[in-house]
Each structure stands twice: as structure tokens, then as C-alpha cells.
Homo-oligomer: A and B are copies of this chain.
Amino acid sequence: MQACGLIVEYNPFHNGHAYHIQESRKTSGADCIIAVMSGSFLQRGEPAIIDKFHRTKAALSAGVDVVLELPYLYAVQSSDLFAEGAVKTLYKAGVSTICFGSESGDISYFIHGYHALKNNQATYQTALHEQLDKGTSFPEASRLAYKQVGLTTDKMDLAKPNNILGFGYVKSIMDNELPIEPLTINRIKSNYHDQTITGSIASATSIREELLNSGELTKQAQSALPEETISQLLHYKQMANSWHSWEQYFGLVQYRVMTMSTGELAAIHGVDEGLEYRIKKYANNVTSFHEWMRAIKTKRYTWTRLQRVFAHILTNTAKAEMSQVKADPSVPYVRLLGMTKKGQEYLNSRKKQMDVPLITALNQTNDTMAQTEEKASSAYYSILPPRKRNEFRRQELQPPIMI
């Protein structure tokens, strides 16, 4: 049986993702679709609106056969590490293709880009660091550096978030010489950052905004979401009494920062270049997470980067934890969140060839990465009432979801 891998966050699972699954199945010709998904926190440093278990159910119902968890230490990272962790996880699971969405829908642009970059690595790096040293933000700096090596934006803008990620996947596959064929499908209609819901294929950002701002399932949001997502969103809200957003964590993260020394803050992953002083400086005067972010934000410290830093503070993710990952960038285990019958069949046929453990509950391994995952999960559920947060945390120890 052949498997095709998708790399996703499903926050929430929406029509764009359903389209992605459908097209990936067609394009790859694979029998089994394996999604590797961020857990409690997402690549852009946000808490997921509903938890990983509810998102897993929605994904399985919409046609994914296996849902694997992308460990926190890979998920809440810049695109390079995110891509590295995701690709390696899918490789361990034995996929022969990985399919991602892009504006162009043409994989040759990515392959060409990879070689252009590889052959001009030094030029690219010099240009990138020149820009970063000037205080240019990472996306803008990389756009300018790409230009230096001939990768202009006329065919493909490599600085667009989805292209950055797609490029990361290709780079990861080719750098590691993995026997995986990268595929891309055309993303249609909406832009990643488009904040208005424009049709049945809406951007993830716009749906999130709509859900979190209104606090309910508006008609517009409903039109962009498949039935199964709607039912998971409603089920989660009924059980937890809210959807997760940064503002709900403001009290916890402010408490945390106010009881840390600057030295302790500097030991947190991502707190670099004196950022600890900037975070502390405003901690006592702000009354919301948004206000704090706005106070700290500069051209260099982008919103996304700062959100990731706050996620690391909230989850107490230390530089020491990350340096282990950097020292040994392999994937220590593959964690199964859910599967269909077909997914189970695939995994049964595949299991014996896997050289890392396939785990379901977090307590089936002593690996640091799983311990970080537990902390992230605990922090994630901390905003719920006592009984709920204990009950929800215990899901981490349950057998995988099956539909």
C-alpha cells in the first residue's frame, strides 16, 4: 500500500483542507493519506482553537487515514525546523510522496529554487544576514536574499508563508536525500493571510478570526467549514465552554513572566538578543496579551516570532530542550493520534519496518520530546475549569481515535 503525506495544522479543519486531501489523493495516486499535524500549539505560536483530539476526529471524517502528531519542539518553530520535523515524521511513517499546497501548483519552481539556492548558498547567506543585521524582518530579508540568487517573485514568491513552508519541505526531502517525491497542488481562491472569508474555500486565518472574534459559529464561518468540523467545534465548546485563544492565557503568562528573573527568561527557547528585558519592561503595565505584543513588537521581532516566544514561556520550553533536538535532529518516535480502518491496515503492514517506536499514549516513551509535549498539553488545558483540565489532559494517555 502506498501512502501520501500531508503537513497540516487543521485549526480548524476547513473546506480548503478537504480540497487538499482530495487533490492529494488524486495527484499522488496513493491509497493512504497520512497527515502530520501540530498538537496543542501551532507553527505561528498560537494555541489551537480546539484540541488535537477534536481536530483529529474532524480530519479523519474528512478523508485522512492516519493522523500523526508533529511534536511541539518541531511544530512551534520557524518554517525550516517545522518542515524538517514534519518531513522526517512522514518518512518514518513510510510515505512515498508528500503533497503540499502552493500558489503555482508547479513543483518545478520549488526544485529549481532548491538548486539555485544550493549552488549559491554563500551569496544567499551573506545577503540574508546583511539584511537581518539591519533589523529587517526575516520574511523580508529572505525575499531580498532570494533575489540575490536569481529567485525573483515573478514565478513564485518564496517569501509567502505557504511557499516558505513548501520550500522547506522540498529542502528537507532533498537535503536528507529521502526517497520521497514532493508534489504540489494549486491552492485556490484565498490567500493565507486574507482576513475576509470570501467563499467556500476560505483562508485558515480568516476563519480563525471570524470564530474567535465573534465567539460563535457565524453563518459566514459555517459556509467555509465542513459539517464534521462544525460538530467538533460545537462539541468542544460545549465541553470546555470556550475556544482557545491567546487572550485566555494572558493571566498565566503574565504571572509567569512576573515571577521569573531576566536570567530565567533568557533560558527560554527563543528569548534572544536581550528580548527578556523587552518582555519584562512592559509586563506590569499591559492589561491584555494583544497590548503586550504590540508594545514589544518591532520590525525585527515579528508577531509570529513573538507569539512563539510566548508559547515557549507559557509551556516552559527551555533552550536546553531545543539544543537536544538540534544536536540530534532525528525523530525519536512517531505518535499516532487517530486512524481509519484503512489507516490501521497501512500501519500494521508498515510497523515492522519502522526504526523508531510508534506510540499512542505520551507515557509510552521517556523521550524529552514527549515530556515537552506533556508540558505543552498541560499548559494548553490550564485555562479550563479543574475537572475539565484534568479530564482533557488524560486524553494524552488514551488509545488512538478510530473512526
Interface of A with B (CB < 8 Å)? 250-252, 254-256, 258-261, 264, 284-288, 314-316, 371, 374-375, 378-379, 382, 386-387, 389-390, 393-394
Contact = CB atoms under 8 A, between A and B. Distances in A.
Given A284-B390, A284-B393, 20 more contacts: A251-B382, A251-B386, A252-B252, A255-B378, A255-B379, A256-B256, A258-B374, A258-B378, A258-B379, A258-B382, A259-B315, A259-B316, A260-B316, A264-B316, A284-B378, A284-B394, A286-B390, A287-B387, A287-B390, A288-B386
A243 B261 CA distance: 28
Which 7 A-B pairs have CB atoms at the shortest separation, nearest pair first? A258-B378, A287-B386, A255-B382, A259-B316, A259-B375, A259-B379, A287-B387
Nearest to A317: B259
Among A256, A314, A374, A394, residue most surrounded by chain B Cβ atoms (within 10 Å): A256
Given A250-B386, A255-B378, A371 B287 contact: no
A286 B374 CA distance: 17
Contact of A259 (B378, B387, B389, B390): B378
A386 to B, nearest CB: 4
A395 to B, nearest CB: 12
Nearest to A321: B261
18 contacts: A251-B386, A252-B255, A255-B378, A256-B256, A258-B375, A258-B378, A258-B379, A259-B314, A259-B375, A259-B378, A284-B378, A284-B390, A284-B393, A284-B394, A285-B390, A286-B386, A286-B390, A287-B390
Contacts of A251: 382, 386
A387 B251 CA distance: 11
Contacts of A394: 284
A288 B250 CA distance: 22
A378 B259 CA distance: 7
Contacts of A315: 259
B316 A254 contact: no
A295 to B, nearest CB: 13
A264 B375 CA distance: 13
Contacts of A255: 252, 378-379, 382
A213 B371 CA distance: 38
B382 A261 contact: no
Nearest to A291: B386
Contacts of A379: 255, 258-259
Contacts of A254: 382, 386, 389
A393 B283 CA distance: 11
A56 to B, nearest CB: 21
A173 B328 CA distance: 58
Contacts of A387: 287
Among A259, A284, A387, residue most surrounded by chain B Cβ atoms (within 10 Å): A259
A251 to B, nearest CB: 7
A251 B385 CA distance: 8
Nearest to A371: B261
Nearest to A315: B259
A285 B389 CA distance: 10
Contacts of A288: 386
Contacts of A375: 258-259
A272 to B, nearest CB: 21
A375 B379 CA distance: 21
Among A264, A286, A379, A390, residue most surrounded by chain B Cβ atoms (within 10 Å): A390
Contacts of A378: 255, 258-259, 284
A162 to B, nearest CB: 32
Nearest to A388: B287
A255 B386 CA distance: 10
